[in-house]
Amino acid sequence: MIMLWRAWGAALCGALVAVSASADEPPRIDPQDVTVKACLAAVAQQTGNSQLVVLGKDYSEANSAVLIGVGPDQAPWRCLVSNDGVVVEVTFTGDEGAL
C-alpha cells in the first residue's frame, strides 16, 4: 500500500512539474494566421509602433481576441478580429498611467 502511495505521489509531482514548465513557455501562435496578421497591422497603425509581440490568442467562433505587447515594455493591447481577418476593435488594456 505504501509503495502504491509513493508511486502515485511521484507521478503527481511529475505531472505538476510538467504543467508548470509548460506554463512558462510562450504561446505558440502561427505568424501566418490571418487574424494575427490583421491585428499586428491594426495595432501598429493605431500605436505608430512596429515593435510588437503576440502575447496570446483567445479563439471564438464569432471573433477572436489577439493580445499584443507593444514597445520594449510590451504595453498590453487587445485586438478583436473576425476569424476571416476583419479587425473589429483595437484597445489598450493596461494602466493609462503606465504609458
- The answer to whether the predicted template modeling score (pTM) of the entire model surpasses 0.85 is no
Q: How many domains does the chain have?
A: 1
pLDDT in tens, 14-52: 433 333 334 555 557 887 899 999 999 999 999 999 999
Residue 96 has pLDDT above 80, yes or no: no
Residue 10 within any structural domain of the chain: no
Strands ordered across the beta sheet of 75-82: 52-58, 63-70, 75-82, 87-92
Residue 72 within any structural domain of the chain: yes
Q: In terms of residue numbers, what domain contains 42?
A: 29-98
CATH number of the domain where residue 66 is located = 3.10.450.520
Q: What is the Cα Rg of the chain in Å?
A: 19
Residue 16 within any structural domain of the chain: no
pLDDT higher at 98 or 89: 89
Residue 45 within any structural domain of the chain: yes
